Chains A and B, each alone.
Chain A
């Protein structure tokens, strides 16, 4: 059974007004379990809108979304949380700043589950696990379990957010430019950590990135969105051996436009 099925998904913003924006124009997408998909595309192509629709933060009015055997089309974000974990672009978005590192981790460990009012929020037996996982990040966070997470740097917070997202393996992991706000060095570290965590539990993943090289290096499938449509979809072998130049050429063929891209700007 596929891990994710998106069928005939359309999204309109401000429908019926002069500002009507048909942001997604019929997306059909099926992900097999364990697929790690990099999504690229120009600004405003609809990448975030697609992820937001899958996560439930934008209601779906046209089309269908299934995760595993469950139809989640009409479920809200909180309801879908038992199936989906998410990391946002803004490192602040994924954590509760006034809660400590261990409180944030404990919170994420119960993602989508019922929360009791008699059980301890942070359990003693979990601390060792948290410490071990934090130590594996190599950021020295294992000694800062009781520090407020708002005091951590953006990169540190993003690394912890990734850990939180995978503490309890989700059916689907959604990453929206989750390294874009970090400096190149930290960004590379967090990207490697992502690949590690995803591989360790074989998590089905959708990752938006503006970094062509990352899109090529990571994951086993690559999708290019253009004006609300899937313009290119490359799997396994087709993706192997592709270069940034190939990607840019493909993009131009499909959309007739140049792709403004970090990798190009950087090189």
Chain B
């Protein structure tokens, strides 16, 4: 039981980095960017390839994240400069990235042998799961810290204004396109960082490891928002970690119940639909309660 909790925390921390990346476009810019499903395996592919070619783990991880930022740049330019709708932009980049990832890895799957040094082997707590928690925890802390600082700078305020009211931001001299591209790059850089870390902890990079990342990210975000509504930016990011861990626990529980593996994705989709509808359901239930009370009062 405790084992499940601990392994869920380790997995949740890495997922949280991706979910935070998705949060930037999804909630701050109000853009649905599906590039994630391509930039996540991109980060994994670059890092795995670099590690196998002998690059140090820190640099290899950094390259992975930078690759993701580049993918974000492509999506951002397609969306802002060529005015392609956000959903289509993501699909385009994601589709193209499939080939890019294949080029980088040379085959569908690259495994990291036990003697390959990863960022997780930089620490040694005597247990791989705890190593992941330590490194993942440090990473996620750095990421949140950096984002909180950035989104409170002059430029960061500008980026948030773009998501809020584009006529207003333009009227104040903010270049909406540039700001969106910057956030696209940050977002996909983080998603790729998460993919890079995932490859290192799992010991392999796989072409198909991006499938389902968006569902995980959205679930983590929505769970966080259901847990606590209306939070400041920094606190919201912290609750996303909790959301990711909870989602991981739910999945562990589902697996434990022995759900048919073929039905898993259907299950995840239904669960996410339920999460998305939950705020509305809560509101409805509350309204029914209030109406019932009011009816009794009016008798």
Interface residues, chain A, CB within 8 Å of chain B?
Answer: 55, 57, 76-79, 81-82, 84-86, 88, 92-99, 103, 106-108, 110-113, 115-122
12 A-B pairs, CB-CB below 8 angstroms?
A55-B171, A84-B171, A88-B167, A92-B165, A96-B160, A96-B168, A103-B157, A103-B160, A107-B161, A110-B173, A111-B172, A116-B154
* Known contacts A96-B168, A107-B157, A122 near B173 by CB under 8 Å: no
Known contacts A81-B171, A82-B173, A95-B165; is-contact A107 B158 (Cβ 8 Å): yes
- A81 and B157 contacting across the interface, CB-CB below 8 Å: no
Interface contact B172-A108, CB-CB below 8 Å: yes
Q: Which residues from chain B contact A108 at a C-beta distance below 8 Å?
A: 172
Instruction: Using CB atoms, name the residue of chain B closest to A111.
Output: B172
Within 155-171 of B, Cβ neighbours of A (below 8 Å) are at 155-158, 160-161, 163-165, 167-171
Q: Tell me whether B152 and A122 are in contact (CB under 8 A).
A: yes
| CB contact under 8 A between A111 and B160, given known A119-B154, A120-B153 | no
Partner of B160 from A57, A92, A99 at Cβ < 8 Å: A99
Quick check: A121 and B170 within 8 Å, CB to CB? no
Chain A, residue nearest B154 (CB): A115
Mark out the residues of chain B between 186 and 206 whose CB falls within 8 Å of any chain A CB in the assembled complex: none
In the complex, what distance in Å separates the CA atom of A81 from the CA atom of B173?
5
Number of A-B residue pairs having CB atoms within 8 Å of each other in the complex: 90
Once A108-B172, A112-B172 are accepted as A-B contacts, the answer to whether A120 and B152 lie under 8 Å apart by CB is yes
Q: Is the CB of B172 within 8 A of A93?
A: no
Q: Are B152 and A112 in contact (CB under 8 A)?
A: no
Task: State whether A121 and B152 are in contact (beta carbons under 8 Å apart), knowing that A99-B157, A99-B160, A115-B158 are contacts in the complex.
Answer: yes
CA distance A95 to B152 in the complex (A): 17
Contacts of A120 in B (CB 8 A): 152-154
Contacts of B154 in A (CB 8 A): 106, 110, 115-117, 119-121
A81–B172 contact, CB under 8 A?
yes
CA distance A22 to B180 in the complex (A): 35
Between B154, B160, B176, the greatest number of chain A beta carbons within 10 A of the residue's beta carbon is seen for B154
Contacting residue for A93 out of B155, B163, B168, B173, CB 8 A: B168
Query: Which of chain A's residues has its CB closest to B233's CB?
Result: A98
The interface of chain B, by Cβ under 8 A from chain A, is: 150, 152-158, 160-161, 163-165, 167-176
State the main secondary structure of chain A at its contact with B. Answer: loop
CB distance from A28 to the nearest CB of B (A): 26
| Given known A98-B164, A117-B150, contact A106–B171 (CB-CB < 8 A) | no
A172 to chain B, nearest CB (A): 12
Contact A99 B161 (CB under 8 A): yes
Chain A residue at minimal CB-CB distance from B157? A121
Once A78-B175, A107-B158, A113-B173 are accepted as A-B contacts, the answer to whether A121 and B153 lie under 8 Å apart by CB is yes
Q: Contact check: which of A78, A86, A118 meets B176 at CB < 8 Å?
A: A78
Q: How far is the CB of B3 from chain A (nearest CB, A)?
A: 41
Cα–Cα distance between A121 and B171 once the two chains are bound (Å): 18
Closest Cβ of chain B: how far from A143's Cβ, in Å?
Answer: 19
Interchain CB contact under 8 A, B168 and A94: yes
The closest CB in chain A to the CB of B230 belongs to A148
Q: Decide: A78 and B174 in contact? CB cutoff 8 A.
A: yes
B174 CB contacts on chain A under 8 angstroms = 78, 81, 115
B165 touches A117 (CB 8 A): no
- Which residues in A have their C-beta under 8 angstroms from that of B171? 55, 77, 81, 84-86, 94, 111
In the assembled complex, which residues on chain A have CB atoms less than 8 Å from the CB atom of B170? Answer: 76-78, 81
Please report the C-alpha to C-alpha distance between residue A77 and residue B176 in the assembled complex, in whole angstroms: 11
Residues A96 and B173 in contact, CB atoms below 8 Å apart:
no
Closest-CB distance, A1 to chain B (whole angstroms): 23
**Sample of 13 more A-B contacts, CB < 8 Å, known A97-B165, A115-B153:** A78-B170, A81-B173, A92-B165, A93-B167, A98-B163, A99-B161, A103-B157, A107-B158, A118-B153, A119-B153, A120-B152, A121-B153, A121-B154
Question: Which residues on A sit within 8 Å (CB–CB) of B164?
Answer: 96-99
B149 to chain A, nearest CB (A): 9
